[in-house]
A and B are shown apart, each in its own frame.
Chain A
C-alpha cells in the first residue's frame, strides 16, 4: 500500500509546487514529493480527484511519450464501455473522461515487474503501476505513457529501501502495447501509426524559433543516415544544426521520411509549443516524446494542432 501511495505521490509531484499548493495538504512538506504525499493522503478516499489530477498531468505537466494512430473507425464507444475498476492483462481501468462528443479518454494503471539492485547486492522484484492514458477521437487514437526517468535515489525513496541500480528499464513502447492489448480490440482494428515526417520538417524549418540538434532520416527505402551536433559540456550550449551543419541540416529537412529528430523550442509558437519545450519526435512511428516543459498546457495544445 505504501508503495502505491508513494508512486501516486511521485506522479502528482510532477504537477509542480504552484499547483500542489492549491491542493489540500500540498503546501506542507520539504520536497515536492513530501507535499504530493500529503495530497495523496488527503485524497485517500477521493480517487476521482486523484485521477483527475493524473489527467491534468497528462494535459501538460508530465514528461510523456505520445503515440498516435490513424483509425478507420472511431474507438470512442469501445473505450467508453471499458469497465472501470476492472483489471485485464495487468492493466486496471481507473477512470474515463469525455471532454467533448466523440472524444473519450481512459486513464489506466499498467502493471510492470521491475527489478532493482539493493545496497546488499540483491536483485529484488516489485510490481510498479504506471499511469497510461488512451484517448480516442473520431479518426485518431492516442496512447500517452508517463516517462519515468528516475535515479536510484528516487526509487530508494519510493520503495523505502536503498537501491543502487535499476535493473529493468520501463519502456514506453511496451506500456503502449500492453495498454492497447488490454482493450481487447483486435490488432487489425487499431489502425496504423501516423507519419509525422511532414510536421517534423515544418517545425525544423522554423529556424528562427526552433533549434534542431540531431536527426535521422531515411535514404530512399534502402537505409538511413543520422546527423547530430556535438554536445556542449562545461556550461556551453549545444549548437543547433542549422548554424553549424547547414548542408546536413538541409538534407534532413529535405527528407520525406524522418525517423527521429531532437528539437528545442526557443520562442512561444502558435502551434501550442512554448519556449523551453524540448521534444524528441519519432515521426515515422507517430511518436512524440515530451522531454522538458516549462509550464503546463503545451502537450494538449500541440497534439490538437497535429490532429488538425
Chain B
C-alpha cells in the first residue's frame, strides 16, 4: 500500500542503508549541521557527489538547506533559512540574548554558506522561530 512515506523510505533504502545511517548518526553526535565537505569526508566521496546527495535528501524533505552565517559582525554564528536571506534578522531572535533588542544583521548569500540540518528537528524549529520573530 502506498503512503506518504513510501517515497522517502524508498529513497533512504536505496541511498542510505540502515547501518550507514547509524554510522553517520554516531559520527555526527550533537552536531548542528552538516556541509558538503564533511559529508564528502564521512562517506569517502567527492564534493560534487556529496552536494548531490545532500540536495537530494533536501528535496525529499529529510534535510533542510539553511545558510550558515559566520560574519565577524555577529556575536556568534547562526543559521538562516533561505527565505530570510537579505532581510534584517534580530540577533536576539537568533539566540544572542545579550544583544541589543534592535540590533539586526542582514545576511547575504555571498557571505554565508549552505549547510544542511535535520528537516524535522532543528531546521524546522529555527526556521519557524526566525520566521515568526522577524
Contacts and interface: CB of A to CB of B under 8 A. Distances in A.
| Chain A interface SS verdict (over half) | mixed
| Chain B interface SS verdict (over half) | loop
Interface in B104-125: 108-111, 113
B32 interface: yes
Contact of A221 (B31, B71, B76, B109): B31
A213 interface: no
Given A223-B76, A259-B72, A285 B32 contact: no
Q: How large is the interface on B (under 10, 10 to 19, 20 to 34, 35 or more residues)?
A: 10 to 19
Contact of A282 (B32, B33, B72, B110): B72
B110 A177 contact: yes
Contact of B113 (A171, A193, A287): A193
Q: How large is the interface on A (under 10, 10 to 19, 20 to 34, 35 or more residues)?
A: 20 to 34
A221 B110 contact: no
A223 B71 CA distance: 14
B70 interface: yes
Given A222-B30, A222-B31, A193 B111 contact: yes
Given A221-B31, A222-B30, A190 B72 contact: no
B73 A173 contact: yes
Contacts of B70: 259, 284-285
**Nearest 6 CB-CB pairs, A to B?**
A221-B31, A221-B32, A284-B70, A187-B109, A222-B32, A282-B72
Interface of A: 171, 173, 176-177, 180, 187, 190, 192-193, 218, 220-224, 259-260, 282, 284-285, 287
